[in-house]
Structure 1
């Protein structure tokens, strides 16, 4: 079927398997020593995560391959790492249908809305430095924002601003689908949003909105004194040792990478997307990474500490980040650019042709990363959600990553 604005909003970087769940992309509680989140999940009755024995890994293989068959997923990579209980890293299917090149763990992938976790981290570092305040109105930093004197940076980061989501604007959808290789500026993206009235009073409810992150990215640039990609590189990626993660300015895509497949096209036909320009996602969804770097990021963003033990953000700020008010969907909360889904903390990502899921379960110090080369839904569900659910049903039955199909990506 032809691309709809709701569908585009999801793929474009909404990607939340949460639907906008409280955020298309993410939610989960934390038991980390440096930050305790408000967790909607029940107390586990047994081990938080099962040991990755041959029997369990065999069940994982079967579960992932079953989802691939049912959902028509070309290729997927799954990584699970849990201390003292083993690890599981597998790739299935093909990275490119044309030459049948196999999917593999070393491929670069577009990560969509997982970009939000990096943008908000940069913002929180500036909060720690006293250069911005979470409860400052956005109007303090930018003119022309509807309700700018009332909407705070905190409300932008936790998806409760009330601003219109630019990826739902019909003119934006037409512009993107008519030429997926074109470039957009942050101001152009804001213009698509600001021509619409505000949707509700700031703070009144949760509503996933990519516009929020464009504004926060501009605040980081203004107060951090660097281009957003440069700031994230210097202050987040380099200290984390994440050498295979980048913030492209345009359509550049390091090799080797997987080909992406989407039906978010003007005519509804499946298209290849590796050459599409993700600039329309910018601070909300433009980044590229790989499995091993996302493994590092899963724990780093959930604990607020770099791998060497240094603080990425202060413990007090991390506690605020991981306060995840309910989103309206069972078992799901959304904090400052991060989600909590039944105990799994992190974010998901989706944009045409690619989906990802990077989450961490503090109760078991376990990381889960899922990378796919399609965003085509199955029975209304994001493929990354389907894989994440199948994996967690096997390894952590008391903490299953599940989101209601009727809310996924809409």
Structure 2
């Protein structure tokens, strides 16, 4: 009995020491600021030694019905799904169902270079397989059901990006193919495999393969901020599967990543293989430095959803952020605030501008701008009385006015300054100025 009491006291003391060290007020202040300025919708959870020590949720599951989000709200987590899929592949390896060095021609004879591409190449993005999300028509069909045969056809029809294992280049197609391999070797749908191998053993209550978004299941819609929150379209989950179709929340993500790093899913030997970085990529994991420290994890983006999960092995610290609001305050900035609150590092709170520019003035800046200094064009327009910019081959992004002729986009560190008399625009980014002329 004494040993139990002593152990309990030690645990209590440890928790109290941590609570004193963690600057919770800083993180609380950031969320108050974000909620007041309508700049973020989402949830965060921080865990140390497997115990949740901070949670917060702001925003709405559904703006139309004013349904507020909670820490139990479930979000699409995008490419964090790849970490789950990689773990499933390693579990199959431990069950001797596959080998990392086996080629994929047995499963996908129509894929170019299938006789030389290995499962290992798919895991660490060294296959050279075409990424279907880069297809010009992707956004025309991604909201509709896609069969396995159709997805393989789309992937196989693309050009080879490079010869296998000669470089690393991110491709969602790699993890679509890994999902199909799992289905072949287990003779079950991917969602059932995920449930059997990871969700049930870890008792994850808010994690599963997603389908049509359902508010009744405590899921949320996603939005894009263009002056006001606009509902985003839904990618059909038959498209990303194990590359981006999992639904979860921050608490479950922390349990998952902590379990992965403490041997509850795969062996330490195979975890080390996942963590081995080559040309920026591990196997379902990337390395994320924070000053002198090192963490591992992944981020995700799908429709208006954004997500991050990181784990610091030395500190046994897990941190996850999920959001359903794109173009607001960036998740990376919230991550920096959370880490600075834990590791006692400086952090500058955002300053949101209330500067309003008349619609007529915004319209006068609208048009296409080209530069002789960099090979891109930028289309300037306004929507909902908010200036937007779109560079060649990139999605549009909103700009925040800081003066009548100056606008910024903090997430990319971009500042645009207009001169109507000269029909010029100056792009400022990364300490450089680039002159653009209005066409």
Distance 1:252 1:97, change over 3 A: closer
Q: Which moved more, 1:99-108 or 1:243-252?
A: 243-252
SS at match of 2:173: helix
Cα offset, 1:286, TM superposition: 0.8
Cα offset, 1:354, TM superposition: 1.3
Distance of 2:412 and 2:260 partners within structure 1: 27
- 1:254-293 alignment to 2 at 5 Å? 255-262=217-224, 271-273=230-232, 277-293=236-252
Residue 190 of structure 1, aligned match among 149, 152, 164? 152
Question: Structure 2 length as normaliser, TM-score?
Answer: 0.68
Contact 1:346 1:358 in 2 (8 A): yes
User: 1:144 — aligned with what?
Assistant: 110
**2:7 matches 1:56:** no
Distance of 1:282 and 1:85 partners within structure 2: 30
Cα offset, 1:53, TM superposition: 3.1
**2:187 matches 1:225:** yes
Contact 2:40 2:328 in 1 (8 A): no
Contact 2:61 2:215 in 1 (8 A): no
| 1:74-123 deviation line (CA, Å, top 9, x unaligned) | 41211112249971111223333334333210111111111111111111
Residue 261 of structure 2, aligned match among 270, 281, 302? 302
SS at match of 2:47: strand
**2:271 matches 1:318:** yes
Cα offset, 1:350, TM superposition: 1.1
- 1:20-31 alignment to 2 at 5 Å? none
- 1:383-398 alignment to 2 at 5 Å? 383-396=330-343
Distance 1:399 1:157, change over 3 A: farther
Distance 1:107 1:238, change over 3 A: same
Distance 1:377 1:199, change over 3 A: farther
Contact 1:108 1:254 in 2 (8 A): no
Contact 2:310 2:320 in 1 (8 A): yes
Residue 360 of structure 1, aligned match among 307, 311, 314? 311
Contact 1:155 1:161 in 2 (8 A): yes
Distance 1:207 1:67, change over 3 A: farther
Q: Identify, as 1 or 2, the structure richer in strand.
A: 2
Residue 203 of structure 1, aligned match among 148, 158, 165? 165
User: 2:428 — aligned with what?
Assistant: none
Cα offset, 1:377, TM superposition: 6.4
Cα offset, 1:150, TM superposition: 1.2
Cα offset, 1:282, TM superposition: 1.2
Distance 1:270 1:57, change over 3 A: closer
| 1:120-154 deviation line (CA, Å, top 9, x unaligned) | 11111111121111111111332111111111111
- 1:133-172 alignment to 2 at 5 Å? 133-172=99-138
User: 2:327 — aligned with what?
Assistant: 376
Distance of 2:51 and 2:228 partners within structure 1: 44
Q: Tell me how large the CA RMSD over aligned residues is.
A: 3.0
Residue 335 of structure 1, aligned match among 275, 282, 285? 282
Question: Structure 1 length as normaliser, TM-score?
Answer: 0.72
User: 1:9 — aligned with what?
Assistant: none
User: 1:93 — aligned with what?
Assistant: 59
Contact 1:224 1:231 in 2 (8 A): yes
Instruction: For CA contacts below 8 A with separation 6 or more, give which structure has more relative contact order.
Output: 1
SS at match of 1:174: helix
Contact 2:300 2:307 in 1 (8 A): yes
Cα offset, 1:186, TM superposition: 3.0
Residue 78 of structure 1, aligned match among 29, 35, 44? 44
Cα offset, 1:205, TM superposition: 2.0
